[in-house]
Every structure is written in C-alpha cells, then in structure tokens.
Structure 1
Amino acid sequence: MRELLREMIHYRNNLEPDEDLDSVKVEAFKERFGQILDLADREYEYEPPSKYYRNGFNLKERLREFREAHLLFLYDKMFLPLWGLSF
C-alpha cells in the first residue's frame, strides 16, 4: 500500500498546473487500491486480528470506508496529497 500511495502522490505532484488528470491512470490506481484492500480482507479472514493487534485491521477498515476521501487528490486538483508529508 505504501508503494502505491507513493506512486499516486508522485504522479499527482509531477503534473503541470494546466495538465489534466489521466482518467485511465486514475482508474488503474483506484483498482490497485481496491486489490490491496481485498488482499487484506482475505488475510484477516484467514487470521483474524487479536484484541492487542487491531491497528492494521482498523486502518484497512477506515481505508475502505473512506476510500473516496483518501483518493480525492486523484480526482480533483484542488486537493493536495497530504500523505506525501509523512513519506
């Protein structure tokens, strides 16, 4: 997931101010994001999180629930990818 987010942020930050977002590339990013979340679902189904190690599970749930908000910077150039500050 981290590598995908880096790639998305790198793509977004390298766009020229007058350059439009490539809808095919954005959809590919969105698809990969969903595939990673699906993989996490399968892994947590196979081995459920214990009450002491729920951080990853909770993060997966938040990423799925607020997916559109997390990826908003790929749809609207007005929004900046703030995740880039922590990478």
Structure 2
Amino acid sequence: MARRAARDLRQAVAATGLDRTTATEARARAEEIETGVNARRPDRARVARALEQLTRLLAAAGSLAAAGGALIGPLHTLAGWLGALGGPVLGLLPLPG
C-alpha cells in the first residue's frame, strides 16, 4: 500500500497547480518519498522527513485544501505506514470530512 500511495502522491503533486519554484521542490520531495518507500530496506526516518517537508510545502501553498483526496489520501496512507514517525504529518492534515 505504501508503494502505491507514494506513486499516487507523486502523480497528484505533478498535477497540482503550483508555481515553478514550489512545484520543483514538491516534485523533489515526492520523488524522494517514492524512492525511499521502494528501497530494499526503506529508511522510514528519511521518508518521514521528506513527507513532512512536502506536507508543509503543500499546506503553505494552499494545495491540501484545493486538491482534496488526491493528495490527502496518499499522505494519510504514508503517514500510517510510518507509524509514530508519521504523527507530525497527520497533525498537519485536515480532519476527514
């Protein structure tokens, strides 16, 4: 599930209408997450840092509210996969409807 969520997140970030600078940073974080999740021995702490950075970036850009489930679903899934390391990300996400 984490691999699929990472792929879905990367695709959702690519489809989000961000300015060039923010989009470049968001794509880099999404790729870092996907690479980390797909690693033979995932470094969950590294994935957690990248996921939190991406979530903060998207929240600051207003994209979390605008994109809805396309971003929120994968973010929730990945935060859950991270266990306790995903707690800070869950705290940044809007509560489910």
Instruction: Report the TM range for the smaller structure's normalisation.
Output: 0.3 to 0.5
The structure, 1 or 2, with the larger RCO (C-alpha pairs under 8 Å, 6+ apart) is: 1
Query: TM-score, normalised on structure 1?
Result: 0.43
The structure that is helix-richer by fraction is 2
Of the two, which has the highest radius of gyration?
A: 1
Query: TM-score, normalised on structure 2?
Result: 0.39
